[in-house]
Structure 1
Amino acid sequence: MRNSTRYIMSVGELKRKDNSIAFRNENGNFYIPIESTKEIYCLNEVTVNTKLLDFIAKAGITIHFFNYYGHYSGSFYPKEQLISGNLTVKQAKSYLENREVIAKAIVQGIADNIYEVLYHYYKHDKKEVKSTIDWLKEEVFKYLKNENLDIKRILYIEGEIWQRFYSCFKYFLPETFIFNKRVKRPPDNPMNALISFGNSILYSKTVSQIYNTHLNQSISYLHEPSEGRFSLSLDLAEVFKPVIVYKTIFELVNNRKIQVGKHFDKELNYCLLNTAGKKVFVEAIEKRFESVFQHPRLKRKISYKTAIKLDGYKLIKFIMEGKEFRPFSMKEMV
């Protein structure tokens, strides 16, 4: 069973070589074993051809492409085999009739997981985060129980949750990684660079996990459905950002595994992880994707990566059977 992710960080050409995948750059050919590969992430300028794409499609391999700034550009994945017209119709109907219910559940999941992340620091003598923890517990959790919230108010409280979370960074991160606001395109400082890169990897990982369900990637609930992007992946990725992206960042920064003077390229109006920084970050986030916890309902250990796919199945249960949709929460971990 393939469960391996491969990252390509240099400029080069990806091609089929006999019955293998070969990556060629200025240093020569490097072979990627097809039997143990499920995803390939191209984090630099990589050339491919139709011969390769046909080969990897038959092998069930997905390729994700990123631009110069580390933002997700798109994916090539095999022709969809898990297609359900019935589910797609009901998924669209659920958007029309139950959008707010699903969007609220996602925002509740974001709030739950941010609460758990901040509570960890509160327990380790970072008492300054208490006001945000109390706000989440005493105001946000109660507010989200309101059945009459429209999508604008749901999006407003989501934005406020993230802003309050960002405002806590100064209490447990070194000064060189503090930032004033979230800047995405392009990121303007080391923390924004880390967040953008981590979010892009999480988003593409979620694309791959939803591909293994019958869900339609273009019909979303928290984010507006739009042409040209897999907006459902943005939805399901949200609750995992505090757990996967931000915990990875905090541990790398606080343990000095990522350093401003060593792992970033800074220009006049943007800041990006350099190749060395990307390697450190990729290794850490992949370990987090593959790390496991005891699932209370399944009574077995699962990985964070599997948890993303399970959220897709939970959404299907809601759409098809009306079963309550409760995204992943760190409270489930044992």
Structure 2
Amino acid sequence: MKKSLYIFQNGELRRKDNSLYFESESRRKYIPVEDTNDIFIFGEVDVSKRFLEFASQKEIAVHYFNHYGYYIGTFYPREHYNSGHLIVKQVEHYIDMNLRLELARTFVKGSIGQLLQVLKYYGGRRDDKHFFEELIMSISGHAQQINEVVSVEELMGVEGHARERYYQAFDSIMGDPDFIFEKRTKRPPQNRLNALISFGNSICYTIVLSEIYKTFLDPRIGYLHATNFRKFSLNLDVAEIFKPIMVDRLIFTMVNKKMLSKKDFDEHTDGIMLTEDGRRKFAQELDKRMQTTVSHRHLGKSVSYRRLIRLELYKLQKHFLGEQKYIPYHSLW
């Protein structure tokens, strides 16, 4: 199974013959090319043209993040998977508002379905079960509005209200005074929990983007998140299905098991960010989670979380081609 490589140190990425290596002040580390899916760069890293040529040849996407962990951009391989026909179908599903709204509704249904599953999982393990039952009932009420809305903007509002209610469970799930939710804040996050959510979501969006590059889909054409002057939108749509089980549940695990503490965060004049060590801890655990396998009820076998994303994209391809209606993945636990 291919893995992601996360680089937090400063150094250089170079090619040597038919292999790649990362060299810092302290050591040189060779990169197992055939086992590397993508590279996430957080440090100050120089790359050579020969490195980029070889990375492209091996279909390795290189994602860049700034000093604070915000996504900057991606060097991705020249498009190995091209399908003009599929791109036309993607555009058709965007231009036709009925087709776009149908697909956007499906993404929101999948997203809210995952939120509810997370609440059911933790609600059954907490003493305040009535509180979780009320949240589940409220969010289920928002889900019933999905088919009633007549615009994508209204749909985003429904999803936003459902997520606001969902976030109210975070303090109960973790119960750690060092990780209080308060409210959702971004760019910059105003507390440690928001810093974790923002960083985790950013990585999730990028992982989905890497998987899109392995298909015939065009990541620039989104449906719930409008196609506009941002570089990519489709990865944001698909990530809505996976953020609750990839990011949120990992945050709960790491906080509840004391794998993260106050020392893993830096407080700035305008917000709070993860330290380099904190980002490294989270990225390592997320990579482990992506390699974890779960039983896939339709395939009848176990697949990794990373593979689940690719399978989701294949379902989207079939939807655009008219072969099969897209039904989002739903976690059973």
Cα RMSD, aligned residues only: 1.6
* Aligned equivalent of 2:236: 234
User: What amino acid maps onto 1:152 in structure 2?
Assistant: E
Alignment correspondent of 1:325: 326
Q: CA deviation at 1:176?
A: 1.6
| Alignment match, 1:156 | 157
In the other structure, the counterpart of 2:106 is: 105
Letter in 2 for 1:172: I
The residue aligned with 2:182 is 180
Q: Deviation per CA, 1:74-96, whole angstroms, max 9, x where unpaired?
A: 11121111111011011100112
Q: 1:131-280 maps to which residues of 2 (within 5 A)?
A: 131-137=134-140, 139-146=141-148, 149-173=150-174, 174-260=176-262, 262-280=263-281
Rounded Cα–Cα distance in structure 2 between residues aligned with 1:32 and 1:251: 29
Letter of the 1:256 partner, please give it.
Answer: K
Shift of 1:141: 3.0
Counterpart-to-counterpart distance in 2, 1:159 and 1:322: 31
Partner of 1:283 in structure 2? 284
Equivalent pair of 1:265/1:273 in contact (CA under 8 Å): yes
Could you list the per-position Cα deviations for residues 112-171 of structure 1 after superposition, in whole angstroms to 9, with x for gaps in the alignment? 11101111121112322221101123x12322233x532121011011111111122121
* Aligned mates of 1:187, 1:238 — CA distance in 2: 20
Per-residue CA deviations over 1:48-89 (Å, capped at 9, x if unaligned) read 121210121112211111111111111112111111101101
Within 1, Cα distance between the matches of 2:71 and 2:158? Answer: 26
Q: How does 1:37-56 map to 2 (within 5 A)?
A: 37-56=36-55
Task: Report what 1:34 is aligned to.
Answer: 33
Residues in 2 aligned to 1:327 and 1:126: alpha-carbon distance in whole angstroms: 30
Counterpart of 2:300 in structure 1 is 299
Report the more deviating stretch, 191-200 or 122-131: 122-131
CA distance in 2, matches of 1:35, 1:92: 34
SS of equivalent to 1:314: helix
* Percent of residue pairs identical: 37
Tell me the alpha carbon deviations over residues 302-327 of structure 1, each in whole angstroms, 9 at most, x when there is no partner.
11111111111111111111632111
Return the offset for 1:43.
1.6
Unmatched segments (≥5 aa) in structure 1: none
CA contact (8 A) 1:199 1:245 kept: yes
Letter in 2 for 1:63: V
Q: Which runs of 5+ in 2 are unaligned?
A: none
How many residue pairs align between the two structures? 328
Q: How far apart, CA to CA, are the structure 1 residues paired with 2:143 and 2:42?
A: 38
Whole-Å separation in 2 of the counterparts to 1:141 and 1:34: 44
**2:279 partner amino acid:** K
Distance 2:271 2:24 in 1: 27
1:68 aligns with 2:67: yes
Aligned position for 1:21: 20
TM-score normalised by L of structure 2: 0.94
Equivalent residue letter for 1:79: R
Structure 2 CA distance for aligned equivalents of residues 92 and 38 of structure 1: 28
Aligned residues of 1:70 and 1:196 also touching (Cα < 8 A) = no
Secondary structure, aligned partner of 2:273: strand
Q: Deviations over 1:7-59 (max 9, x none)?
A: 11112221223332222222132222223222111122211121210121112
CA contact (8 A) 1:69 1:186 kept: no
Query: How far apart are residue 279 of structure 1 and its match?
Result: 2.2
- DSSP-derived class of the 1:134 partner: helix
- Asked if residue 130 in structure 1 is aligned to residue 133 in structure 2, the reply is yes
For structure 1, which segment, 266-275 or 238-247, has the greater mean C-alpha deviation from structure 2 after superposition? 266-275
